[in-house]
Amino acid sequence: MAEAYFYHLTRRSVVETLAQLLPRCLSQGWRVAVRCGDEGRIGWLDDKLWLGPPESFLPHGVAGGPHDAHQPILLTPGAATNAPHCLMSVDGAAVSHEEIASLERACILFDGTDGEALSRARGQWTALTGAGIGARYWSEESGKWEQKATKNID
C-alpha cells in the first residue's frame, strides 16, 4: 500500500529538496508528478530544474504538452497524466487518499517556517492517516533528514 511522506522544510528550499528526491524516484524507474498548489509557480519551478548542473539534469515537462504521458517528471497544477508512481505536492497542493492509494508514494513538501503551510500539512496528515494511509514525517531541523513520526505503518 502507498505511503505519504511529509517533508518539513526548514533549511532547504523546495527546489533543493526536489533535487534530492527526484533522482531517487527516477533511479527506481518511477514516473513522478510534481503538483504545484500555485499554478504560477510551475514556470518558475520548470526554470529552476533546467538551470541545474548538466550532470544532474532532471528530465521533465510541464503539463499541457503533447508528450505529457511520456514525461518521467511532470509539473502540473492538477491531475497527473503521466501515470506516476509518485506524486509530490508542493505549495500546499491537494492530495486525496483515493489518489494516493493507487501510487507507490506521495511526498508532501511544506515550508516549516510558514504558519499557514504548516497548518495545511497538519490537516493533510490528519485526513490521510484518518483514511488509513500510512504516513512518515521527516524533519531536517538537525541539518539532516530524520524520521520523527509514523502512523499506520506496519
Q: What domains, with CATH codes, occur in the chain? A: 3-151 (3.40.50.10110)
Q: What is the value of pTM for the model shown?
A: 0.94
Mean pLDDT of 73-90: 96
- For residues 51-86, one letter each, b for 16 or more C-beta atoms within 10 angstroms of the residue's C-beta and e for the rest, the string is eeeeeeebebbebeeeebeebbbbbbbeebebebbb
Handedness of CA 143, 24, 3, 35 (dihedral sign): positive
Share of the chain above pLDDT 70, in %: 100
Give the pairing of strands 61-62 and 134-139: unpaired
Q: What is the chain's mean pLDDT, rounded?
A: 94
Q: pLDDT tens for residues 115-153?
A: 999 999 999 999 999 999 999 999 998 989 999 999 999
Which of helix, strand or coil describes residue 49? helix
Tell me, what's the pLDDT at 78? 93
